[in-house]
Structure 1
Amino acid sequence: MRPGPARPPGSSAAAGYANTAHTKGLMYPQALRILVVDDNPLNRDLVRLQLEEFGFAVETVCNGEEALLALTASPYKLVLMDLHMPVLGGRETIRRLRATDGANRDVPVIALTAQTCGSDRETLKVEGFNGVLYKPLEMDELAQTLAVFYPEAMSAANQAAAAQPGTWPCLLRRANGSVALAQLLLTRLMEELPRQMALIMQALDSGQREKALESAHKLHGSAAYFDLNDIKAAADTLERLLIAQVKIGEQAACNRLAAAIDAFLLQRDAIMAEAALASAS
């Protein structure tokens, strides 16, 4: 039996999900469920797809508050949690989780963060995390971390494909070689980038700098995941300006980011054609 239908990104895992995970012929019981906590829908879906490629049952939520609700409602064997999220961030979430008497109090929690954030492994360990994975997640690094907790399961899982340059090969690599998953990621990427750019412009026009920063951070993370270096660099510049509250250069940074996204969207037909060829082969 395959898992039940996936819920929309960001919906509460507390409502219940699949009893099993079935991917590439691997099937594990409900006891091997993993919770993914990330406010970025692209990152969240990517991590879910990567984990499902290894055969695990995965549930996702979009902030620490939803994570605590899910952890109160159901047992999990592992949690992958972003550090920087609105509503409730990863550090405060782990503090509250470890202070409870619930069944998931001691569940292993792996921090997800960008290397540029300067998060220290030892500091995170003291705070209650059991490890850290740096974005963008590589399949081999994810496999190594999973093997610490599930050595028998991971011995049966396929390892990541070799790295290749280019947008489509990167998507394929992130999807562990699955053409269908890579095509889905591409479609969502093409939708999410301009949507977040529009949110940044709207937020800045209305003086909501925190919301603009939130969207810039999401764009930065998505671009890093998919090796979109021009978008990543432009988003990083804007993010730094917003954090430092430096308005000089802000508009130029926005224009640069918008131009980088437009340039990527112009490649849509070429990337889609490459994806179609891969699907037909």
Structure 2
Amino acid sequence: MKLQAYVRKGSFYEAVVEDGSDIIFIVDFEGTIRYHNTAVFQTLGYRPKSLNGRNFFDYILPETVEELKRQFKKSQQRAYTQNIEFQFLCKDYSYRFLEFNAINLKHKEGLDGFILDCRDIAQRKENEAELVRLQKAKEQFLANISHEIRTPLNGIAGMAGLLSQSPSPEERETYLNAIKHSAENLKLIINDILDLAAIESGKLTFEKIAFNLKDFLPSLISTFMYQAREKKISLDYTIDENLNKILVGDPVRLNQILINLISNAVKFTHSGSIKVFCTAEREVKGICWVRIEVTDSGVGIPEDKLNTIFESFSQADASVTRKYGGSGLGLTIVKQLVELQKGRITVTSKVNEGSSFIVLVPYGVGKKGAMANTSPKNDQALKAVNASQLVVLLVEDNDINRLYAKSILKNWQCYTDTAENGLVAIEKIKNQAYDVVLMDIQMPVMDGYETTKAIRLMDAPMCDVPVIALTANATKADVEKCMAAGMNDYLPKPFTPDDLYRKLFIDQKISPKQKVKSKSPVVIPANQLYNLDYLRSVSGNNEEFIREMVMTFMQTIPPVLAEMKQALMDSDWPKLARQAHQIKPSFTLMGLTELRSSILFIEENSKASTKLDEIPEAVSNFIIQCEAVIPELSKEVMPGAA
């Protein structure tokens, strides 16, 4: 009853209308304000009753007044109007976005006026504007990035086509350099996208490695020298003697920061010079603050753009991307990498005078001798690890990736077997001892995770073979999944020969196992070599079918064995591989498991021109056992045969 009395008395009016958060105006059809509540003061800054008698339209953004008057006219024909947006002049002379719902008093009370229930939508409009800005930036980014990806892809495809037209040695060199340059550009763009994704997902990790700036800065600068000379600009650097010390941090990320800054400087400088200054800002309690300044005399950055150049998908101007290319992510990544290492980056610039980017990053100070030997690889280093005796199984389903990795290993004179999926890899590991397995992850039939798990369930010593993942997915979660599957380490794609060398011989210290000297082959009784259970199973124990299959085998194998002998005498390894491949399926049908392993070894190594010193003995033993098993098989189909 108390509540009902409260309603009858109208006391709720003060709580709902007068003290409510919504702004309430009562205006006549001409726009004269007859009433407004106290919420006007909190939102717009006007004291109570101070707007009474004023015209509502005098406070509307001038260029929108006529449109709002038209809305008023339409509202006079309706009992209720919703969601009309407008901008109202505040006491501080700024305009604020509001939205009203109008109740037409003519329909209820016969009065020429409206009750305007207004809400502050300034934050909503800001959010909408920001969403539009971001959407446009991302659309621009996608347009830029699709162009930037297509350009090197077109270059690679075009140059590859020209290479197939028998060019001269000079042209061939030009085309190959163009392909390499395009591939590097494509790699940089894709790395930018992947790095930004890793940073924004919080999955980027930093190493703590001992390094010295004097070891890698000269070679980094040299990579830009060709471009600088081509543009006739000077590129130089100085390293303060106080920085000739062992620093502890992530040199790869520092390298990435400098590549972005120096490449930008080269890109936007058309005359003059680029200088890189490295100094020790200060050293406190074992922490050295390294200051790196990259200064150029390039086109410069407009003052109003200095605050946006570090934003994702942003460059100083859309025309910059069209003229100079790039993903628009380089400086975003630089800023993130610097700040994630508890550093900071600043920029000063003047249009047509140049820019100066200053990076300040704290690094630990290490002791002398703390640095690992990461010197460039050479023939002596490869001989020291005995790489020519290394037996590697490369498990990779992509033809180009397989060719690339195999070519690197071939240059090191490693013995390399290949498998196009995990199932083939398992079969090979059962029949051959390997020093290391390089394992792709995404493969048909059996992927890298399942293959590694299966290897770890094998008998010793097969289960102990080191497995290194070759993966395009190198997030923290992917790495953890590799380790959980039983892999020893991982190498992210794309990788360089140096990356693979470091992973094999420095990180994992892979070396050839002590090989057991060849023994005389174990001769298995011919009647134990074959097993016709498979044929019986697939034929429903049809004796006629089994007899025909065995007779066909007995007729077709001897001529092929003769061809294999001839190919071996001629050292015609491709022909030997083809002959072995031709008869391989027949050995599965006959249950000739031991002989099938031999033919597999002959086929793979003849095809790859590996283990050529072992192939003659393998072929000889294979032919001897085949010639022994054929008479035994004849007894199966012709019991009276001698």
Higher strand share: 2
Which gives a bigger RCO, structure 1 or 2 (Cα 8 Å, sep 6+)?
1
TM-score (norm 2): 0.19
Higher helix share: 1
TM-score (norm 1): 0.42
